[in-house]
Amino acid sequence: MGRRPGFFLTELPASVLGDAFPPITAALAEASRWLHPRLLDRSFADQTRAELTEHGHLFITEVLRAPRAEVLSQSLAAAHFVPHHHAEYPLAIAPLAQQGDSPLAGFMGWLGSDEGVRYHLWLSGIDAEIIKVQVQCSRMRDGDRFPPHVDTWADTLAVVYNLTSDRVEGGVLHFIDEGLEVPRQFNSTFAFLSRGRRHEVTAVRGEGSRYSVTAFYVFGTEG
């Protein structure tokens, strides 16, 4: 399979973090605005790091504070979506610059901020300089699917926040070569090391929309 672009834009903004990471305290304080308190616990982070190291991925439920999850769900329903920049991908995306002042814009802004980067590196145990960051929101409706693709051939941590109603059918994230299907559960997160991992999202069926907000934290160059 050729190395054509997957989810990524042609150019991504360079991180300004550099080599020196300040104490994690400020990043945890900022994360506490969005996330359930247990995701800020150091013993919980030890578990997530071990799981990511052993399996290359991890699945977490009840990630966002309940009020935040509901507000974001409502914000997604009112967000401005446009067709994906790769025409062969039949789904819609919500560019941050087109969202105005909304809870969705605030959440996407946090994921792409220095504090958001520091938090996710802390949670995953990745000790590396972040080269590039991309945050993208997607919507899939009846008949939409994301065909098999590889996001990147660089070392990258992908973090997918699922905000899909449990009433939606289909829309399952499937890692083809591993036979892994990720539960489609509202207010859950799936994080994985995405380099070279071929995956797809199966077709959504019926009423309702599949919503996800994904952050890509690139810490290596393409092999």
Could you tell me how far CA 63 lies from the centroid of its own chain?
12
pLDDT at position 22 = 54
Q: What percent of the chain has pLDDT over 90?
A: 79
Question: Which tokens in the block code for residue 78?
Answer: 């009112």
Residue 43, phi then psi, degrees to nearest 5? -70, -35
Average pLDDT rounded to a whole number, residues 158-165? 96
Average pLDDT of the segment spanning 108-121: 96
Q: What domains can be seen in the chain, in order of their start residue?
A: 25-218 (3.60.130.20)
Tell me if 131 sits within 8 A of 205, measured CB to CB: no
Residue 171: the pLDDT is 94
pLDDT at residue 10, as a whole number: 33
Span 12-40, pLDDT tens digits: 344 434 444 456 899 999 999 999 999 99
Taking the CB of residue 208, how many other CB atoms lie within 10 A of it?
A: 17
Provide the 10 A C-beta neighbour count for residue 177. Answer: 10
Give whole-number Cα distances, 43 to 36, 71, 125, in Å.
Answer: 14, 29, 12
Per-residue pLDDT, averaged over 1-11, amounts to 41
Give SS3 for 46: helix
pTM, two decimals, is 0.89
